[in-house]
């Protein structure tokens, strides 16, 4: 049996290829840095503004008023609206928007409950 020798020169990279690899690494690094910069800028732009809060709060208030017309307002909705207004007053518009959206979801759930209960009594059995 003959032994197969592998010389180190077989695994060495030619100088021209090394330059090409370095160039590719620079391009990759530049692309990654650009991507991170764009992602950072997008997160700054995604921060909530006072106008975004006002729109979210108005939508929540409208849904709560609709629930009130159905005589099914939840106290948790009122608490979320109050907390949203307080957060906005403190300048934390991201939190204020999140609380406004939560209040709107609660109001919509109370509307759904009122509408469901309006029809549910018809399906109940009287014994």
Query: Does residue 87 have a pLDDT over 80?
Result: yes
Q: pTM of the predicted model, to two decimals?
A: 0.61
Q: Are the C-beta atoms of 110 and 73 separated by less than 8 Å? A: yes
DSSP state of 49: -
Q: Among the ranges 9-18, 37-46, 74-83, 109-118, which has the highest mean pLDDT value?
A: 74-83
What distance in Å separates the CA atoms of residue 15 and residue 65, rounded to the nearest whole number? 74
What distance in Å separates the CA atoms of residue 86 and residue 71, rounded to the nearest whole number? 26
Q: Are the C-beta atoms of 70 and 109 separated by less than 8 Å? A: no
């Amino acid at each position: 049996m003959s032994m197969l020798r592998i010389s180190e020169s077989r695994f060495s990279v030619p100088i021209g290829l090394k330059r090409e690899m370095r160039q590719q690494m620079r391009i990759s690094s530049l692309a990654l840095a650009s991507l991170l910069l764009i992602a950072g800028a997008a997160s700054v732009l995604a921060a909530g503004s006072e106008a975004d809060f006002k729109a979210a709060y108005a939508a929540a208030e409208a849904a709560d008023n609709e629930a009130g017309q159905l005589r099914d307002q939840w106290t948790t909705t009122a608490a979320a609206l109050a907390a949203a207004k307080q957060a906005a007053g403190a300048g934390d518009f991201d939190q204020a928007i999140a609380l406004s959206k939560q209040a709107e979801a609660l109001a919509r759930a109370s509307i759904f409950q009122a509408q469901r209960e309006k029809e549910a009594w018809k399906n109940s059995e009287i014994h």
